[in-house]
Chain A
Amino acid sequence: MKQPEVQHPNRRACNATAFRTLPTAATALDGGGGAVAGDGAPLKPLSVFFSPAVYVLCCLLSAAAGFRFSRLLFLLLFSPAPPSSTLHLHRHHLHLLRQPPAAVLPSPPPPELPPPPPTAAASSRVVAGRHGIRVRPLPHPDPAEVARAHEILSRVQQEQRLQYGVKESRPILVVTPTYARTFQALHLTGLAHSLMLVPHPLTWLVVEAGGVSNETSALLARSRLPVIHLAFNEKMPVLWNDRHRFEARMRLHALGRVIRERRLDGIVVFADDSNIHSMELFDEIQKVEWVGALSVGILAHPAAPQTTSRRQERETEKNSPLPIQGPACNSSGQLIGWHTFDSLPSAKKAATTVGDGMTVVPTKLEWAGFVMNSRLLWKEAEGKPDWVRDLEEVGTSGEEVQSPLDMLKDASSVEPIGNCGKKVLLWWLRAEARYDSKFPARWVIDPPLEIVVPAKRTPWPEAPPDLPFKQMANDKSLGEKRVSKKGRSSRSKRSSRSKKKREPHADTRVSDLQEK
């Protein structure tokens, strides 16, 4: 029948009209009256009240309308003429949602009871009872407001730092030995980002083995930090043991050439480019007076996991928690010794050459775990303690400087920081590609590669969508129109390139990737 279908979408209208059209019971279910919602129809008891037809009609209505609607309906119809006090105090304010078509949640239909008499105590706007749930049509956050919220957060945090944090920021001098190699961009960018977040004045001393190169300069310039780029005109050795000693010499070079000569003031931090630093480190070191020691977590892991057997992996995971180097304190917070890295158990599995795929292990005490006041390095500084050797004497006559402790006569005056070494403030990591691996200069391939070698297996689907690479390839026409094969060529270029990286014995491709 047509009537029920008409009735269904116009359910609200039907209910509202129903009691009005009840006297004319025959034509009751006229769903035509659309906007009767909110119409305050009078509640006069109807004289046709108790006719059985009406009764049957009401039953049918209840069945159709459901419990809640029918209860409301009967409440309106059959409530006694002088309303009881309970009804009076409950004015069911059913607030319509702002834009009904876009309403997220349904709210019950809003017929309004007559307003309560003024003698009731409810003279406030707030009434008990059922309310609608207000939802705005587009609950998405406004980006301008999100930006303002972040401004508020950063201002609040700045205020917190002013009130509770470090009162006066002492400048920081970061000493980093580096050299141009495949993973340099990865490590140096990470370190640059960390240093950019430091809220204290900072000078970055970068010592580069093999002389100043454009690679490094480009990376440093992007950081927009005050950088002193020093050249160290010897090539970085290939064996790890030699490399540790070499880096120590580079650091001493920076300390002597720059800090001592120019009498730079601040706290010296030895930040190796592949290490990971937490921001709390830079707040914690402000407390150091002369020489401080902190805990370094050692992330010594096999460089190429598939070479070690499964059993070995499980063993190492079970037995060893993260090794930590740093100061050891007694219960009253005084320095009594050092936690060092024991390299004997992993000696056989340790890496010897850079990039040979074995675990890289650190020295007994890494430089990164020490910070010092730059005044210790000056020729003359007031208040300089006497348990520090003069920098000129250190490292001369064949002496091997393994850690900053060799620069001190007496290691017991070192201050442990980071809650007496209990808090790990930085993590040591060495992850390098093979020492002879090549990479494109500044990681830009210009002009795009010409030789196409079809790949045997491509992990990508046959027809990728318009990739920006493809568009770039379209723009730079190389004089060879390969319109139909362009998709496959770009894919194969990528796959062949990545394959070539791993096998250094590759053929002609390698020559194209030489550093320019």
Chain B
Amino acid sequence: MGSGTWILALLVLHSVFDGIYGLEQEVNHRTERISGSAGDVLEDDPVGRLKVFVYELPSKYNKKILHKDPRCLNHMFAAEIYMHRFLLSSPVRTLNPEEADWFYAPVYTTCDLTPNGLPLPFKSPRMMRSAIELISTNWPFWNRTEGADHFFVVPHDFGACFHYQEEKAIDRGILQLLKRATLVQTFGQRNHVCLKDGSITIPPYAPPQKMQTHLIPPDTPRSIFVYFRGLFYDVGNDPEGGYYARGARASVWENFKNNPLFDISTDHPTTYYEDMQRAVFCLCPLGWAPWSPRLVEAVVFGCIPVVIADDIVLPFADAIPWEEIGVFVAEEDVPKLDTILTSIPIEVILRKQRLLANPSMKQAMLFPQPAQPGDAFHQILNGLARKLPHNEGVYLKPGQKILNWTAGPVGDLKPW
């Protein structure tokens, strides 16, 4: 009767679900498909979905700077230069600004390097401001939207806050003139002044050819449990500890320096890339900024990244489900790191390794030259395409002004 049919229906449903489950179990492939909150979008092709107009800025904003210091092509902020080159020859570029969805102004703000190779951000706000003044006077498109359909690549430590020290960066906040533009940056931390809504987080630049040359055979057994190479105390800038990495790296060192499962040191071995391929977990703790190229290296070499940075926003967070791929440890839980890592169930670890082995995952973290399908350039364009069509707030009514052109520190208003 009624209950009988219910039981029958339940049995049928049960067997159906079992069947699906069984099918998934059989598929024991080497990799697994990756789909994030935006869906299975890693392999989308942006061509045809958006059009980008590249402003022809005078070479003092880009080529001359690069010419002065070619080291900018190899450091971890090189994404801004390679993105420019990619867009110049990409099929999404349009020479007709009337049909463009997005506008791009190539300004290399992170190319003023010290002799040691670290970028100085002190002139960057003035440079950006000068560029924006130029495009707003020579073309009508900036004033039409006050930059809301423009995007800029700002890969520096704290993005468009243009400072390497966090407290000062928070003080400055995002450059006023970029308040409405879309920022493509490496920095990402939730509820932080320097990450605005709608930004696209990208990985830092890591040289793809160099990593390719250090690949070892995949059947080399992974015998290191946890691997890390880098500073724990920044004795130059923070001798007592506690400021650098919010004390997290120092905590890792003090707790695990004698633990045989943790291969951690400040060494600079020549076999760094090879060692990562022999490790199961690679620590990616924050430094002065929460992001680091270690994440890219860990993904490329198949080592599960252990991210120790509270509230961090990882690259392409809507396309890549990072919680399923990496392990996230709160900074206050660092003393329990060994307990946390050894208590992860083995099936979860194997699944993470399968996800990492997915070639589209590795491709999405890299900036190869020439560009290849699925790489970080295409992910950026996909991200921009997902923000289309622009909503009504983007286009201003005639005479409406939102940006305050005189806000910010007085030093920024000087011409560049």
Whether the pair A149, B342 counts as a contact (CB closer than 8 A) is yes
Cβ-neighbour of A141 out of B223, B260, B331 (below 8 A): B260
* B159-170 interface bits toward A, Cβ cutoff 8 Å, 1 = contact, 0 = none: 000000011001
> A136 to B338, alpha carbons, bound, how many Å?
12
> A124 to B193, alpha carbons, bound, how many Å?
10
Whether the pair A123, B191 counts as a contact (CB closer than 8 A) is yes
Which residue in chain B gives the minimum CB-CB distance to A283?
B219
Cβ-neighbour of A135 out of B251, B310, B342, B346 (below 8 A): B251
Whether the pair B260, A104 counts as a contact (CB closer than 8 A) is no
Whether the pair A149, B225 counts as a contact (CB closer than 8 A) is yes
* B268-301 interface bits toward A, Cβ cutoff 8 Å, 1 = contact, 0 = none: 0000000000001000000000000000000000
Whether the pair B242, A107 counts as a contact (CB closer than 8 A) is yes
B208 interface contact, C-beta 8 A? no
Assuming A126-B189, A152-B346, A164-B217, is B261 touching A141 (CB within 8 A)? Answer: yes
A133 interface contact, C-beta 8 A? yes
CB distance from A443 to the nearest CB of B (A): 32
B231 interface contact, C-beta 8 A? no
Whether the pair B254, A135 counts as a contact (CB closer than 8 A) is yes
Whether the pair B251, A164 counts as a contact (CB closer than 8 A) is no
Whether the pair B350, A159 counts as a contact (CB closer than 8 A) is yes
Tell me the residues in window 88-136 of chain A with beta carbons closer than 8 Å to chain B beta carbons: 89-90, 95, 98, 104-105, 107, 121-126, 128-136
A317 interface contact, C-beta 8 A? no
Q: Which 10 A-B pairs have the closest CB atoms?
A: A124-B191, A164-B219, A136-B335, A131-B247, A157-B221, A145-B342, A148-B342, A133-B247, A128-B166, A164-B218
Which residue in chain B gives the minimum CB-CB distance to A146?
B261
A126-B192, A153-B222, A153-B223 are known; give 20 further A-B pairs, CB within 8 A: A85-B171, A86-B171, A95-B332, A98-B335, A104-B254, A121-B193, A123-B191, A124-B189, A124-B192, A129-B167, A132-B242, A133-B254, A134-B247, A136-B255, A146-B342, A149-B261, A153-B280, A156-B353, A163-B218, A165-B219
B68 interface contact, C-beta 8 A? no
Interface size for B (C-beta < 8 A) is 49
CB distance from B6 to the nearest CB of A (A): 42
Whether the pair B250, A133 counts as a contact (CB closer than 8 A) is yes
Contacts of B218 in A (CB 8 A): 160, 163-164
Contacts of B349 in A (CB 8 A): 152, 155-156
CB distance from A130 to the nearest CB of B (A): 5
CB distance from A221 to the nearest CB of B (A): 30
* B340-351 interface bits toward A, Cβ cutoff 8 Å, 1 = contact, 0 = none: 011110100110
CB distance from A169 to the nearest CB of B (A): 14
Whether the pair B219, A125 counts as a contact (CB closer than 8 A) is no
Could you show 30 A-B contacts with beta carbons less than 8 Å apart? A86-B167, A89-B167, A98-B335, A104-B254, A121-B170, A125-B311, A126-B246, A126-B310, A129-B167, A129-B243, A131-B247, A133-B241, A133-B250, A133-B254, A134-B251, A134-B335, A139-B256, A141-B259, A141-B261, A145-B338, A145-B339, A146-B260, A148-B343, A151-B346, A152-B225, A152-B280, A152-B344, A156-B353, A160-B218, A160-B219
A161 interface contact, C-beta 8 A? yes
B30 interface contact, C-beta 8 A? yes
Whether the pair B242, A135 counts as a contact (CB closer than 8 A) is no
Tell me the residues in window 339-387 of chain B with beta carbons closer than 8 Å to chain A beta carbons: 339, 341-344, 346, 349-350, 353
Contacts of A105 in B (CB 8 A): 241, 254
Whether the pair A130, B242 counts as a contact (CB closer than 8 A) is yes
> A123 to B189, alpha carbons, bound, how many Å?
12
CB distance from B83 to the nearest CB of A (A): 29
B334 interface contact, C-beta 8 A? yes
A142 interface contact, C-beta 8 A? yes
Whether the pair B167, A128 counts as a contact (CB closer than 8 A) is yes
Which residue in chain B gives the minimum CB-CB distance to A86?
B171
> Which of A133, A145, A157, A160 neighbours the largest number of chain B CB atoms within 10 Å of its CB?
A133
> A90 to B259, alpha carbons, bound, how many Å?
35
B116 interface contact, C-beta 8 A? no
CB distance from B96 to the nearest CB of A (A): 40
Contacts of B261 in A (CB 8 A): 141, 146, 149
Contacts of A134 in B (CB 8 A): 247, 251, 255, 332, 334-335
> A152 to B342, alpha carbons, bound, how many Å?
8
> A131 to B166, alpha carbons, bound, how many Å?
14
Assuming A89-B170, A121-B193, is B30 touching A163 (CB within 8 A)? Answer: yes
CB distance from A139 to the nearest CB of B (A): 5
> A107 to B243, alpha carbons, bound, how many Å?
12
Which residue in chain A gives the minimum CB-CB distance to B309?
A126
* B301-331 interface bits toward A, Cβ cutoff 8 Å, 1 = contact, 0 = none: 0000000001100000000000000000001
> A164 to B222, alpha carbons, bound, how many Å?
12
B336 interface contact, C-beta 8 A? yes
B390 interface contact, C-beta 8 A? no
> A159 to B258, alpha carbons, bound, how many Å?
29
CB distance from B229 to the nearest CB of A (A): 20
> A135 to B248, alpha carbons, bound, how many Å?
10
Contacts of A160 in B (CB 8 A): 218-219, 221-222
Tell me the residues in window 401-445 of chain A with beta carbons closer than 8 Å to chain B beta carbons: none
Assuming A124-B191, A130-B243, A136-B336, is B280 touching A156 (CB within 8 A)? Answer: yes
CB distance from A125 to the nearest CB of B (A): 7
> A122 to B191, alpha carbons, bound, how many Å?
7
> A124 to B170, alpha carbons, bound, how many Å?
13
Contacts of B310 in A (CB 8 A): 125-126
> A160 to B258, alpha carbons, bound, how many Å?
28
> A121 to B192, alpha carbons, bound, how many Å?
7
CB distance from B356 to the nearest CB of A (A): 12
Whether the pair A139, B225 counts as a contact (CB closer than 8 A) is no
B190 interface contact, C-beta 8 A? yes
Whether the pair B259, A139 counts as a contact (CB closer than 8 A) is yes
> A157 to B246, alpha carbons, bound, how many Å?
35
CB distance from B34 to the nearest CB of A (A): 18
Contacts of A151 in B (CB 8 A): 346
> A148 to B342, alpha carbons, bound, how many Å?
6
Contacts of A107 in B (CB 8 A): 242
Tell me the residues in window 163-185 of chain B with beta carbons closer than 8 Å to chain A beta carbons: 166-167, 170-171
Contacts of A124 in B (CB 8 A): 189-192, 311
Contacts of B254 in A (CB 8 A): 104-105, 133, 135, 139
Assuming A156-B349, A160-B222, A164-B217, is B342 touching A131 (CB within 8 A)? Answer: no
